Amino acid sequence: MQLLDEIAAPDMLSKYSLHYPCRGREPIKAFITDFRAAFPDLNFWCTANLIAEGDYVVGQWEGGGTHTGPEFSDFTVGGLPTATGRKMHFSGTSVLKVVNGQILEEIGYDDGVTALTQLSLITPEQKIS
């Protein structure tokens, strides 16, 4: 987590559709710690070259993991009890605002519906014939 202290502004905002927004290094560290504990194999990777323009960096990614850890309640639609074994794999785009060499904002546009469906936190509507 020392890296976060170096690259994140003290009042950094992290916001994705799957989770409640976090502001500040310590809340972001707590979120990362809890998310990785709940999904120990959590992994994300870039799927395209990064694009940088002015104060902004944009990247496309995929990621996912298996919920084998403790309960996790930071999803905006509910939480998971301990070790459900449910897997998620989804994609997204992150937009970083970098000021004075530190990330001020991380705004993510993720396919939260896919992840939440895979985790059984939401169910797809039935087609009407």
Q: How far apart are CA 106 and CA 104, in angstroms?
A: 7
Tens digit of each residue's pLDDT (9 = 90 or more) over 40-72: 999 999 999 999 999 999 999 999 999 999 999
Mean pLDDT, rounded, for 22-36: 97
Is position 63 within any domain?
A: yes
Helix ranges (H only) for the chain are: 2-7, 25-38, 112-118
Residue 7 lies in domain: 2-118
Find out whether 108 and 16 touch, Cβ atoms under 8 Å: yes
Domain total of the chain? 1
Judge whether residue 30 has pLDDT over 90. yes
pLDDT at 128 over 60: no
pLDDT at residue 126 is higher than 60: no
pLDDT score, position 129: 54
- Pairwise CA distance, residues 104 & 28, whole Å: 12
Question: Which tokens in the block code for residue 6?
Answer: 């170096």
The span from the CA of 103 to the CA of 101, in Å, is 7
Q: How many Cβ atoms are within 10 Å of 20's Cβ, its own excluded? A: 13
Taken in order 54, 56, 57, 58, the sign of the CA dihedral is negative
The CATH number of the domain holding residue 24 is 3.10.450.50
Question: What does R_g of the chain's alpha carbons equal in angstroms?
Answer: 16
Average pLDDT, the chain: 94
Predicted confidence (pLDDT) per residue in 84-95, tens digit = 999 999 999 999
